Amino acid sequence: MTATHNSYAPGHDASQTKHHEWRTAENSAVHLLPHLARLAPHTPHLKLLDVGAGSGTITASLAKYLPPGGRITATDISDDILLRARNHAATQSLGTDKITFLKASVYHLPFQDGEFDVVHAHQVLSHLGAPVDAIREMFRVCRPGGGGVVSLRETDMAMWCFWPETPALQEGFRGLMARTLTANGGQDRAGRRLVSWALAAGVPRGQIEAGFGTWCYSEPGDQRAWGEAMIERLKTGQMRSKGIEMGITTEQEIEDMIKAWREWVETEDATLGIMNGEVIIKKGS
């Protein structure tokens, strides 16, 4: 398979980055934290690579789990989003040299073999045409012999459950998100495939730890923030303009979804559960 490079499918517009800023190490990289706790005491200069760092909120919040001499390199393929991530980091009192930002493709990471103790990617493989090649490249730059790991987390668009089960959300919005990913050459059900992809990248089964983690939007503040971000995204994001252009949605469908989100936000018992695949790949010796 030839590795073609896809940009982050739904587009990194302001409406999308806004809700991504809700993400932290604590709510989006829990599976990695025990490995950082294990490595930090005997890896004073721990090097972490955050691939496809996006708006950089997980990147910045991972910094506090590193030893004082630890450093993060954060990559993305978009200059705009790197600027945003750099600006976010600047507000976090991390010290100017804690995180280095770098434009790079996940398929051609500009690093030597084994350069990083930890290689992390969150919601990145879903946007790629060749996720196996990306895992092979991340595995390449992970350091052998020191307990290093590659950490992956991806959603699965079949595993979003809404209450109430409004069709415009449960089938409509979820379906459009899935079609947007695949129409852009990405993967709509990455969550369940991580073990399969890691094996295809040549990693022995014994070096793969698999699990699933969740997001829950139900607490009134979370629910409203998420719903309003989705409305903003449907109103102004590329999912609308590109989706209509590509013929995977219509103006009317978008309007129906906006209306459904507005009602959902006002519903006291509204709940949204999202399941994500989580895999830790041990580099081994």
User: Of these, 93, 96, 205, 247, which contacts a second copy (CB under 8 A)?
Assistant: 205
Residue 77 Cβ vs a second copy, minimum distance, rounded to whole Å: 28
Q: What share of the chain is helix, strand, coil (3-state, %, to 5)?
A: 45, 20, 35
Task: Compute the distance between CA of residue 251 and CA of residue 273 in angstroms, rounded to an integer.
Answer: 27
Indicate whether 224 belongs to the interface with a second copy (CB under 8 A): no
Indicate whether 191 belongs to the interface with a second copy (CB under 8 A): yes
User: Of these, 210, 225, 244, 265, which contacts a second copy (CB under 8 A)?
Assistant: 210
Task: Count how many Cα atoms sit within 13 Å of the Cα of residue 249 in the half-sphere of its side chain.
Answer: 27
Rg (C-alpha) for the chain, rounded Å, is 19
- Applying CB under 8 A, the span of 77-85, 119-127, 160-168, 257-265 interacting with a second copy comes to 160-168
Q: How far, CA to CA in Å, does 9 sit from each of 56, 155, 200, 248, 250?
A: 18, 14, 23, 14, 18
Residue 65 Cβ vs a second copy, minimum distance, rounded to whole Å: 20
- The Cα angle at residue 226 between residues 224 and 232, in degrees rounded to 5: 100
User: Of these, 7, 214, 241, 250, which contacts a second copy (CB under 8 A)?
Assistant: 214
The closest alpha carbon to 63, from 48, 76, 75, 51, belongs to: 48
User: Of these, 19, 189, 224, 242, which contacts a second copy (CB under 8 A)?
Assistant: 189
User: Of these, 33, 94, 183, 199, which contacts a second copy (CB under 8 A)?
Assistant: 199
Residue 255 Cβ vs a second copy, minimum distance, rounded to whole Å: 25
Indicate whether 275 belongs to the interface with a second copy (CB under 8 A): yes
Whether 9 and 124 have beta carbons less than 8 Å apart is answered as no
- Applying CB under 8 A, the span of 105-113, 121-129, 204-212, 257-265 interacting with a second copy comes to 204-212
Residue 269 Cβ vs a second copy, minimum distance, rounded to whole Å: 4
Residue 143 Cβ vs a second copy, minimum distance, rounded to whole Å: 25
Q: How far, CA to CA in Å, does 173 sit from each of 67, 114, 278?
A: 42, 41, 24
- Applying CB under 8 A, the span of 11-19, 37-45, 92-100, 156-164 interacting with a second copy comes to 156-164
User: Of these, 159, 183, 225, 265, which contacts a second copy (CB under 8 A)?
Assistant: 159
| 3 state SS of 21 | coil
Quick one: 57 or 276, whose CB is closer to a second copy? 276
Quick one: 94 or 200, whose CB is closer to a second copy? 200
Task: Compute the distance between CA of residue 64 and CA of residue 243 in angstroms, rounded to an integer.
Answer: 39
* Cα distance from N-terminal residue to C-terminal residue, the chain: 28
Binding site for a second copy (CB under 8 A): 156, 158-159, 161-163, 165, 189, 191-196, 199-200, 205, 209-216, 218-220, 268-269, 271, 273, 275, 277
